[in-house]
Structure 1
Amino acid sequence: MADFQRTFSVSDLPSNSSIVSIPLAASVFGSILSGPVADRIGRRNYFFVAAISKFTGSLVQIMATSIGTLILGRIISFYAIGIFSMLVPLCKSMYSCATNVIDQSEISQPEHRGRLIAFYQLGVTLGFCVAFWIGYGTSHISTNLSWRLPLGLQILPPFLLFAGLFALPESPRWLIYRERMAEAFTILTSIRSSVGEDSIQMEYIGIVQDVSFDKHFSSKSYSSLMHKGIENNRRRTLLGVGIHMLTQLTGINVLLYYLPHILQSTGITEINSELLGNGVSGMVNMLATVPVFFFIDKWDRRRILTGGSLAMAICMITTATVLGAYSDKNGTENVFINNKAATYSILTVLCLFIACFALSWGPLGWIYPAEIYPQLIRAKAMGVTTAASYSFNLFISQIAPVLFRHITWGTYVVFGCSCLLIAWVVHAFYPETRVSL
């Protein structure tokens, strides 16, 4: 946006990646510090802290008049996002229009967990889609409203979340861990109202036994994440961190961050690249997440991850092939020469890549880690694995502009080979976690 670039003395985003990278670093710290805090004060209370932080950060960004103030606001906001990214898949619930509760890993039944945590990814993609179209809608305003308005709208979600948290129950597992038994049983009864009293009692006793075992035989420190022992926490931690690292190495966030610039390099005009790059890709990402609910708890996790990796590899290698065959090899830019068919074929293949990600790694990147940790280390482990996600996101966001600048279409070969390697890693090292129905 022209007024944004004038106000903060920045040019195109790839050459000013600190606007992206510094807030991502804040998310790393937000997620990794969330484990012990959430264990101490409770999941629900920590949501209140995150909502206030996000509101404050958004307010600072709205009022920013210098690049330093803007980045400060983004640091505060992204610290809160790091907390959300760890807490939401970990434990919290959201209510359906009926009386039943749709809940996540700490209050969900194992055979439904995949679909329920997939709601988290659907919310993420819906947020992306709405944000992209708002940004496109205001990008042609000549005044500072072009960027202050979309930044200003960011104060609404944390405000609504803060108000809604008063109706949200605490995690029964955390309450039992803190020996608040009566409160835990009351909440479990309310969220399992559709099943019989005997089933509720059996589930409650099972949770109490699990927590008691963890308390007596598991360490609560971060060092316990690398213990082998009975639970083999070291392997669990490596698998959880690995799944988030591999998610970033697919190259998905490179496309989401820089797709408008990628499309400009293929000959699409600036305005259309904004529309197609952000708006269309955001819609593809969101719509492709919807079919996940129909198969995520029926198909093996490993097969979905492996198949998604292979499909994304094909998309990346196809993109590299078309770019290499039709681009102007004499210029410094990778620009198509009057070949609209090739240009829009690239857009189609990249949208297929995003769809393949949304059908596989998008939801399973959060589902898989939530299924492999015992209760006592789950919060700390989810914090560490989420921090790994943001760390590799930060790494990829820094090297992507360099790759695009120096090897142009060869960048897609790199990510294509990475997806092939990822498929092999999952096949060779990752166990199945789906509960058989």
Structure 2
Amino acid sequence: MGLGPVMARAIAGVNGTCYFLTSLVALPMVERFGRRPLMIWTALLQAFTFAILAGLYNITTYDANKVAQGFSVLMLFLFNTWFSVGWLGMTWLYPAEITPLAIRQPANALSTATNWIFNFMVVMCTGPMFENIGWGTYAFFACCNFVIILPVVYFFFPETKGKSLEEIDLIFAYAYEHHENPVKVSTSKNLLPKGGSREAEVILGGIHHEKVQHGEA
């Protein structure tokens, strides 16, 4: 961004503090608005901020335009805000909720390992990417959010807000039995029977019986 080393370190310190404070905002929001809306909207906003940063890259780096530099710093602060609200805690919460008890331990181990592997890749690749493709680095991350993350969450991530672990299991059991999309089942107010009800017990019992017949349980 054309900032000096002292200013860059100062901004990084303030940015880290804001990152921590805005992550606290996610605590009430995740239950108020739900997992899917937070992930979808923050992914969209992250893509938007990266797109702006890509457009400002040459102005801030080579022309040292002070207004553009200040706006770019603002965009970085906004990106960290969107990420901390929608994704920072969600990478730990959602995998633990969505996986059934039988595979929760290995599934969470896999999700945690995947999370740190991708963190490592981003840290190792970002510097060389800036050196070689410049503004394309921001464009690449904008595309990752808009083209990959957003549609994957929209089409494949069921909503778990306000649901017990039994009811989350019921989402997949009902979807399997009725050949429905789990996302549609999780977001519908009429499809899913109440957890603990007779109908729910029948659905879960039928799935368990089928697994036993196939040697899966």
2:99 pairs with 1:365:
no
Over residues 246-290 of structure 1, what are the superposed CA-to-partner deviations in whole Å (9 max), with x where a residue is unaligned? xxxxxxxxxxxxxxxxxxxx221111111112x111111111112
Over residues 294-336 of structure 1, what are the superposed CA-to-partner deviations in whole Å (9 max), with x where a residue is unaligned? 2211212111100010000000001111124x25xxxxxxx34
Alignment of 1:252-291 (within 5 A): 266-277=1-12, 279-291=13-25
Over residues 367-426 of structure 1, what are the superposed CA-to-partner deviations in whole Å (9 max), with x where a residue is unaligned? 100102233322222111111111222222222222111011110000001110211111
- Counterpart code for 1:435: G
Q: Quick one: distance in 2 between partners of 1:294 and 1:342?
A: 34
TM-score (normalised: structure 2): 0.70
TM-score (normalised: structure 1): 0.36
2:159 pairs with 1:425:
no
2:38 pairs with 1:312:
no
**1:297 match: secondary structure:** helix
2:145 pairs with 1:396:
no
Over residues 149-207 of structure 1, what are the superposed CA-to-partner deviations in whole Å (9 max), with x where a residue is unaligned? xxxxxxxxxxxxxxxxxxxxxxxxxxxxxxxxxxxxxxxxxxxxxxxxxxxxxxxxxxx
> Offset at 1:436?
5.0
Which of 329, 337, 350 does residue 76 from structure 2 map onto? 350
> Offset at 1:359?
0.8
> Offset at 1:356?
0.5
Higher helix share: 2
**1:432 match: secondary structure:** coil
- Counterpart code for 1:426: V
Quick one: percent identity of the two aligned structures?
29
**1:360 match: secondary structure:** helix
Q: Quick one: distance in 1 between partners of 2:64 and 2:123?
A: 30
Q: Quick one: distance in 1 between partners of 2:106 and 2:163?
A: 27
Q: Quick one: distance in 1 between partners of 2:63 and 2:122?
A: 30
Q: Quick one: distance in 1 between partners of 2:53 and 2:68?
A: 10
Q: Quick one: distance in 2 between partners of 1:418 and 1:287?
A: 26
Answer yes or no: is the 8 Å Cα contact 1:305–1:361 preserved in 2: yes
**1:291 match: secondary structure:** helix
Over residues 198-255 of structure 1, what are the superposed CA-to-partner deviations in whole Å (9 max), with x where a residue is unaligned? xxxxxxxxxxxxxxxxxxxxxxxxxxxxxxxxxxxxxxxxxxxxxxxxxxxxxxxxxx
- Counterpart code for 2:33: W
Q: Give the RMSD, CA atoms, in angstroms.
A: 1.6
Answer yes or no: is the 8 Å Cα contact 1:316–1:416 preserved in 2: yes
- 1:435 maps to 162
Q: Quick one: distance in 1 between partners of 2:151 and 2:69?
A: 31
Q: Which of structure 1's runs of 4+ aligned residues deviate more than 6 A?
A: none
Distance change in 2, residues 1:375/1:436 (3 Å): closer
Distance change in 2, residues 1:429/1:288 (3 Å): same
Q: Quick one: distance in 2 between partners of 1:307 and 1:436?
A: 21
Question: Which ranges in structure 1 are unaligned for 5 or more consecutive residues?
Answer: 1-265, 328-334
- 1:45 maps to none
Answer yes or no: is the 8 Å Cα contact 1:336–1:343 preserved in 2: no
**1:296 match: secondary structure:** helix
Answer yes or no: is the 8 Å Cα contact 1:315–1:352 preserved in 2: yes
Q: Quick one: distance in 2 between partners of 1:292 and 1:392?
A: 22
- Counterpart code for 2:98: I
- 1:413 maps to 139
